[in-house]
C-alpha cells in the first residue's frame, strides 16, 4: 500500500504518541570510534553508526524525530560532515531508529537503501507496520534501492554485507564487515537483535505470516556469524557504556567481545522460545 506521503504526514504527525519515551533516547552522548572506520554517533541509547570513506560515508539508523542536530554534532566532532553521507541504511523500520532519515536524506542528498521487508514501512512512515501501524509514527522517507540478502555494499574500500535478520520487523537487517587495525583483521557485526515487542503474536493469529519462522531463522543466522566486535541498535544491548566512557582513548580492543555477542543472541533466542511457549499455553 502506498499513501500520499507528505499529506499523510502533515495530517497525522500530531497523532503520534510522544509520551513514555525514555530520556536516554534523546540524551546526548559523544561521538566515538568503535573500530577502524566504524563510529558511534547516536544518543545515549539509540545507536547510530557512521562508516566513513574518502568517497563518502554510510549512516545506519537515526534516532527519534528531532535527533538530527545531535547526530550532526557527533559526526562533526569526529571531523566528518553529515553532508558527505552518501548511503542511508536502517536495521529496523521502527520510529526510534528511523524518524530523522527523511531530514538527513534532504540535508545530504544521500540515497536510502532498504530491504524489501522494511521499504514499505519506511515509505509510509510506519503506517503499514503490522504491529505498531495504522498510524504514521515517523516522517516517510523515499527508498532509492532495495537491498538483497547477502549483497555487498561497497563504498570507498569498505565492503558491508547485508544479512537479513527478520522478525523484529519484517525487513530487519544486520550488517557485517571486516576491519583491519594494527595488522589484525576483525570481524564486525552490526546486529539487529531479535527482540520481541510487547503484544507481538508469533504463533496463533501471527502479527504477520511467518514471523515465528523469521525469528528462528534470525537466531540461527546470528549464531553462525563470526563476531570479534559487535554493536546493536540500542547501546544497552551491546553494553556500550561498559565498553566506552566519554574521553576514552581509542583502542581497537575496546569493543572486542565475541562471548558477549554469542550470549546476547542466545539470551534473545531463549526469550523467544519462552514467549512462544507462553503463547501456546
Ligand atoms: Zn523496534
Question: According to DSSP H, which parts of the chain are helical?
Answer: 5-12, 68-77, 95-98, 101-108, 119-123, 211-224, 240-243, 258-280
* Per-residue pLDDT tens over the stretch 211-241: 999 999 999 999 999 999 999 999 999 999 9
Residue 6: pLDDT band (50, 70, 90) is very low
Residue 12 has pLDDT above 70, yes or no: no
| Rounded Cα gap, residues 31 and 49, in angstroms | 9
pLDDT of residue 216: 98
**DSSP run (H or E) holding 159:** strand 158-164
pLDDT tier, 162 (very low <50, low <70, confident <90, very high otherwise): very high
Whole-model pTM: value is 0.93
- The grid coordinates of residue 263 equal 550470549
pLDDT in the model for residue 261:
98
Q: Please tell me the distance between residue 192's alpha carbon and the centre of ligand 1 in angstroms.
A: 9
Question: Which pLDDT belongs to residue 204?
Answer: 87
Ligand 1 midpoint to CA 107 (Å): 25
Is residue 221 within 8 Å of residue 210, measured between CB atoms? no
Q: Which letter does DSSP use for residue 25 in this model?
A: G
Distance of CA 92 from the midpoint of ligand 1 (Å): 6
pLDDT at 18 over 60: no
Average pLDDT score, the chain: 93
Q: What are phi and psi of 191, to 5 degrees?
A: -105, 125
Contacts 24+ apart (CB under 8 A), 143-147: 143/112, 143/113, 143/114, 143/119, 144/111, 144/112, 144/113, 145/111, 145/112, 145/113, 145/114, 146/113, 146/114, 146/115, 146/116, 146/119, 147/89, 147/113, 147/114, 147/115, 147/116, 147/173
Distance 157 CA to ligand 1 centre (A): 31
Supply 236's cell numbers. 544497552
- pLDDT over 70 for what percent of the chain? 93
User: Measured in angstroms, how far is the CA atom of residue 3 from the centroid of ligand 1?
Assistant: 22
Band (9; pLDDT cuts 50, 70, 90) = very low
- Looking at residue 19, what is its pLDDT? 53
Q: What are the tens digits of pLDDT across the range 23-66?
A: 999 999 999 999 999 999 999 999 999 999 999 999 999 999 99
Q: How far is the CA of 110 from the centre of ligand 1 (A)?
A: 23
Residue 19 backbone phi and psi in degrees, to 5: -75, 165
How many A from CA of 96 to the centre of ligand 1? 7
- For 183-201, how does the pLDDT look when each residue is reduced to its tens digit (9 = 90+)? 999 999 999 999 999 999 9
Has residue 13 got a pLDDT over 60?
no
Ligand 1 centre from 184 Cα, in Å? Answer: 34
Instruction: Give the DSSP letter of residue 117.
Output: T
pLDDT at 2 over 90: no
Q: Compute the distance between CA of residue 267 and CA of residue 244 in angstroms, rounded to an integer.
A: 22
In this predicted structure, the answer to whether residue 11 has a pLDDT above a threshold of 70 is no
Q: Under a CB-based contact definition with an 8 Å cutoff, are residues 75 and 32 in contact?
A: no
Whole-number pLDDT of residue 281: 84
Q: Are 55 and 87 in contact (CB under 8 A)?
A: no
The rounded Å distance from CA 193 to ligand 1 centre is 9
pLDDT, one tens digit per residue, over 84-95 is: 999 999 999 999
What are 173's three cell numbers? 537487517
pLDDT value of residue 14 = 36
Kindly give the distance from the C-alpha atom of residue 155 to the centroid of ligand 1, in angstroms, as a whole number. Answer: 27
For residues 160 and 141, give the distance between their C-alpha atoms in angstroms, rounded to a whole number.
22
What is the rounded distance in angstroms from the CA atom of residue 129 to the CA atom of residue 170? 9
Q: Between 211-224 and 258-280, two packed helices, what is the crossing angle to 10 degrees? A: 160
- Ion ligand 1 neighbours (CB, 5 A) are 94
pLDDT at 7: 42
CA 106 distance to own-chain centroid:
20
- What is the grid cell recorded at 182? 594494527
For 225, half-sphere exposure in the C-beta direction (CA atoms, 13 angstrom radius) is 34
Amino acid at each position: 500500500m502506498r499513501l500520499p506521503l507528505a499529506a499523510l504526514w502533515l495530517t497525522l504527525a500530531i497523532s503520534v504518541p510522544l509520551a513514555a519515551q525514555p530520556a536516554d533516547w534523546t540524551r546526548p552522548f559523544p561521538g566515538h570510534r568503535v573500530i577502524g572506520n566504524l563510529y558511534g554517533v547516536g544518543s545515549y541509547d539509540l545507536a547510530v553508526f557512521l562508516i566513513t570513506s574518502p568517497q563518502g560515508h554510510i549512516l545506519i539508523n537515526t534516532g527519534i524525530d528531532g535527533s538530527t542536530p545531535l547526530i550532526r554534532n557527533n559526526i562533526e566532532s569526529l571531523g566528518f560532515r553529515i553532508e558527505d553521507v552518501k548511503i542511508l541504511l536502517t536495521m529496523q523500520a521502527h520510529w526510534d531508529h528511523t524518524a530523522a532519515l527523511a531530514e538527513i536524506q534532504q540535508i545530504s542528498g544521500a540515497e536510502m537503501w532498504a530491504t524489501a521487508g522494511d521499504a514499505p514501512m519506511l515509505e509510509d512512515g510506519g503506517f503499514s507496520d503490522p504491529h505498531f501501524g495504522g498510524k504514521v509514527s515517523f516522517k516517510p522517507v523515499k527508498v532509492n534501492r532495495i537491498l538483497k540478502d547477502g549483497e555487498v555494499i561497497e563504498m570507498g574500500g569498505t565492503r558491508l554485507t547485508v544479512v537479513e535478520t527478520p522478525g523484529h520487523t519484517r525487513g530487519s537487517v544486520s550488517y557485517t564487515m571486516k576491519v583491519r587495525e594494527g595488522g589484525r583483521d576483525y570481524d564486525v557485526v552490526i546486529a539487529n537483535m531479535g527482540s520481541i515487542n510487547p503484544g507481538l503474536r508469533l504463533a496463533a493469529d501471527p502479527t504477520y505470516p511467518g514471523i515465528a519462522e523469521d525469528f528462528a531463522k534470525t537466531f540461527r543466522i546470528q549464531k553462525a556469524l563470526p563476531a570479534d566486535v559487535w554493536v546493536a541498535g540500542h547501546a544497552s544491548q551491546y553494553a556500550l557504556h561498559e565498553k566506552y566512557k566519554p574521553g576514552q582513548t581509542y583502542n581497537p580492543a575496546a569493543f572486542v567481545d565475541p562471548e558477549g555477542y554469542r550470549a546476547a543472541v542466545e539470551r534473545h533466542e531463549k526469550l523467544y522460545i519462552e514467549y512462544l511457549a507462553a503463547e501456546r499455553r
